[in-house]
Chain A
Amino acid sequence: MICQECNQRPATLHFTNISNGDKTEMHLCERCAQEQGEMFMMNQGSGFSINNLLAGLLNMEPSFQTKKQEAFHQEHVLKCNHCSMTFPQFVKVGRFGCANCYETFKGQLPPIIRRLHSGNSTHMGKIPRRIGGNIQIQRNIANLKQVLSEHISKEEFEKAVEVRDQIRSLEKQLEDKRKGGE
């Protein structure tokens, strides 16, 4: 099957979108599916925006396909208490309203995030220096704990002791920071 957007490459992604009982199918190649109207695109309006694409992706979530759950969601619509965005609105526009939306919709997000980021769901990159100090320490501790268990499984006890001390000192740092912050 050929991608219906570019009519060139083979379609590898197939979306079925059901709204109001109408079923529409989309067959896209990877590239067209990921087109995001990024900066360098001088020519916009090629018809199919990330917004409706994302809406398509989100609507595919199994939890929204059964009528029962749809009814449930109409009764208890999730709504961000900071920006007032509801979950259906988010699905429609494909954009969060504010940072707090991530917290509000956290029960719904993991499958969406994984789908968009090749199965990844946890940030592994930069941590802001000023506000992220504790997170960095926590991440270091988690890494060291892994190293520790590797050393133990290889019976490298001297190295294990070294790492254990490093972990302790980081844990102390963390505790001091928390006390200082209060």
Chain B
Amino acid sequence: MSLERFISQAVSSWMSEDGPDSDIVLSSRIRLARNLSEINFPTLATNEESGKVIETIEDRISKGPAPGFGKMELLKMDDIKPLQKRVLVEKHLISPHLAENAPHGAFLLSENEEISIMINEEDHIRIQCLFPGLQLTEALEAANLIDDWLEENINYAFDEHYGYLTSCPTNAGTGLRASVMMHLPGLVLTRQMNRILPAINQLGLVVRGIYGEGSEALGNIFQISNQITLGKSEEDIVEDLNSVVSQLIAQERSARGALQKTSNIQLEDRVFRSYGTLAHSRIIETKEAANCLSDVRLGIDMGYIKDIPRNILNELMILTQPGFLQQYAGGPLSPDERDIRRAAFIRERINMEKNQ
């Protein structure tokens, strides 16, 4: 398969399209957890019960698609190869839990991959909407429409007091997890993250790196999400997150401005060195690739680099993960082979852009 075709098939809309403030906010996600009232939660459900959940959803689909979202196909995890599962996880379309530990898992995916519905994950139903840029309100609206559509034929487990009843008590109430993925190289370079993180935690939000282990945020990409799900309305949860994100955007922009003012040539040097590494290296590890991609993306956003589209960061952060590299190679690769493939993939991708 050609690289161009591979990319066009592999890229979801949230990775390729621009959204509001998408120079800093890469994507917005809303997740709603729901359960059927009469059936044991997936951790305890029997084969039969899990099958019944899938049947219920299939039945719902057969009565007509969710308005405005096109046809959604139901796929069972059993029918999906391990490598494909991995790719779906790397694209953030399904959770690692669904891929690895959900024997009766299934999911629905909209054509543009903005909507996915996981079935028999930790909860019977998890609706997820993933939009480019800062679009939490829009994503919540979409999730609510899907939710209402499902509810027309499904009796949800709901309690006046505890709201939507979920398998884990940390999700009870709204079942809502709202999150944004932000690229914050300015705040990292100016060493402000250590000051900002505790303040954000104090506001009831959780910050963490999406790529990389532990507290490390590979590629200066952070995920910020709400911690509590009960006692606030969905709109308030989203609004509270929005306001913190807006402040972070402003601080990131001013950090970038300050960097340009005080260290313009150093910054430009850093950006182009990273560009050079991506364009010419023969072996590159995930971590180095992520850091270089972050620099190049910053260079694009700040106008140093003009011939590369900025979505290259979102795209290559995902397409150079192990699952994707192996999918492109058509088979398993050792870590050393992956580093070589990764370098080749990035070089080709950059050249593809230049030759257009």
> Residues on A close to B: CB < 8 A?
6, 8-9, 29-31, 34-44, 46, 50, 54, 82-83, 85, 93-99, 102-103, 109, 112-113, 116-132, 135, 138
3 A-B pairs with the lowest CB-CB distances in the bound complex, closest first: A120-B231, A123-B163, A99-B157
B274: CB under 8 A from chain A? Answer: no
B230 within 8 A of A: yes
Instruction: Check B259 for interface membership: any CB of A closer than 8 A.
Output: no
- Inter-chain contact A96/B230, CB cutoff 8 Å: no
Which of the four size classes fits the interface of chain B? 35 or more
- Looking at chain A's contact residues, is the secondary structure mostly helix, strand, loop, or mixed? loop
Contact of A117 among B148, B156, B230 (CB under 8 A): B230
Q: In chain B between 224 and 240, which residues have their CB closer than 8 angstroms to a CB of chain A?
A: 225, 227-234, 236-237
Partner of B170, one of A42, A116, A124: A116
Q: Is the CB of B165 within 8 A of A113?
A: no
CA distance A43 to B216 in the complex (A): 11
B96 beta carbon closer than 8 Å to chain A: yes
Q: Which of B44, B89, B90, B144 gathers most chain A CB within 10 Å? A: B44
Beyond A41-B96, A125-B163, whether A97 also contacts B44 by CB under 8 A is yes
Contacts A42-B210, A42-B321, A113-B169 supplied; 9 other A-B pairs, CB < 8 Å: A39-B97, A83-B41, A99-B157, A113-B172, A121-B231, A124-B231, A125-B173, A126-B147, A129-B151
Q: With A36-B170, A94-B168 as given contacts, are A131 and B158 in contact (CB-CB < 8 Å)?
A: yes
| Interface segment out of the listed B60-68, B75-83, B199-207, B332-340 | B199-207
Is the Cβ of A123 less than 8 Å from the Cβ of B214?
A: no
- Return A52 CB to nearest CB of chain B, in Å: 13
> Smallest distance from the beta carbon of B295 to chain A beta carbons, Å?
22
By a CB distance below 8 angstroms, the chain A residues around B212 are: 43
Bound CA span A29–B147, Å = 35
Chain B residues lying within 8 Å of A103, measured Cβ to Cβ, are 159
The answer to whether B169 touches A96, judged by C-beta atoms less than 8 angstroms apart, is: yes
Contacts of B128 in A (CB 8 A): 39
User: How distant is A106 from chain B, measured CB to nearest CB, in Å?
Assistant: 8
Q: Does B5 contact A (CB under 8 A)?
A: no
15 chain-A/chain-B pairs, Cβ below 8 angstroms: A39-B31, A40-B210, A42-B96, A50-B168, A96-B165, A96-B167, A99-B159, A113-B230, A120-B231, A122-B230, A123-B160, A123-B164, A123-B172, A125-B174, A138-B160
CA distance in complex: A132, B34 (Å): 14
Q: What 1/0 flags go to B120-147 for Cβ under 8 Å of A?
A: 0010000010000000000000001001
Tell me how far the C-beta of B146 lies from the nearest C-beta in chain A, rounded to whole angstroms: 13
Instruction: Please indicate the chain A residues that have their CB under 8 angstroms from the CB of B48 in the complex.
Output: none
Q: From known contacts A39-B95, A117-B173, A130-B152, infer whether A6 and B215 are also in contact, taking CB-CB under 8 Å.
A: yes
Whole-angstrom distance between the alpha carbons of A31 and B202 in the complex? 10
B12 lies within 8 A of chain A by Cβ: no
Q: Is the CB of A132 within 8 A of B158?
A: yes
Q: Which of A29, A96, A122 has the most CB of B within 10 A?
A: A96
In the complex, whether B162 has a CB less than 8 A from a CB of chain A is yes
Cβ-closest chain A residue relative to B118: A39
In the complex formed, the residue of A with least CB distance to B167 is A95
| A129, B148: Cβ atoms closer than 8 Å | yes
Complex CA–CA separation, A29 to B201 (angstroms): 10
Q: Looking across the interface, which residue of chain B has its beta carbon closest to that of A43?
A: B213
B144 close to A126 (CB less than 8 A) = yes
Chain B residues with Cβ under 8 A from A83's Cβ? 40-41, 44
How far, in whole Å, are A118 and B170 apart by their CA atoms in the complex?
11
Q: Which residues of A contact B201 (CB under 8 A)?
A: 29-31
B174 surroundings in chain A (CB, below 8 A): 123, 125-126
**B228 contact set on A, CB distance < 8 A:** 116-118, 120
CB pair B92 A40 closer than 8 Å: yes
